[in-house]
Amino acid sequence: AQKITQTQPGMFVQEKEAVTLDCTYDTSDQSYGLFWYKQPSSGEMIFLIYQGSYDEQNATEGRYSLNFQKARKSANLVISASQLGDSAMYFCAMREGRGNTPLVFGKGTRLSVIA
């Protein structure tokens, strides 16, 4: 079974608008971490935001926020005031448990910001 599901292969958003990228996850662990990474066309993977399973507040980092709904097992990324430079692939990832477990990635969502 897929651990991380990103159902939107591609998304378009107008510049300066907000956009939500969906991510659902599957785990039976109580302790886990959720991550979002950005991959621009140049190829590097850039860490955006992290949410721990015990964190009560939704994580925020500048224009990025993570809408964490534990009961629904969803961890959607919200980008506010989109910029042309936000055009990239976005990956949701999860790390299960407290020990040394690998980061597991979803298939990604390609976001295109339109002027």
Partner 1 sequence: DSGVTQTPKHLITATGQRVTLRCSPRSGDLSVYWYQQSLDQGLQFLIQYYNGEERAKGNILERFSAQQFPDLHSELNLSSLELGDSALYFCASSLTIGANVLTFGAGSRLTVL
Residues that bind partner 1 (CB under 8 A): 33, 35, 37, 42-47, 50, 52, 91, 95, 98-108
CB burial of 56-89 (b: ≥16 within 10 Å; e: otherwise) equals: eeebeeeebbbbbeeeeebbbbbbeebeeebbbb
**Nearer CB in complex with partner 1: 82/109:** 109
- What the block records as the tokens of 14 is 């107008």
Report in angstroms how near the CB of residue 6 gets to partner 1 at its nearest.
10
**Nearer CB in complex with partner 1: 28/42:** 42
- What the block records as the tokens of 84 is 């042309």
Neighbour tally for 101: CB within 10 Å:
13
**Whole-number CA gyration radius for the chain:** 14
Report in angstroms how near the CB of residue 14 gets to partner 1 at its nearest.
28
**Nearer CB in complex with partner 1: 82/108:** 108
Report in angstroms how near the CB of residue 16 gets to partner 1 at its nearest.
28
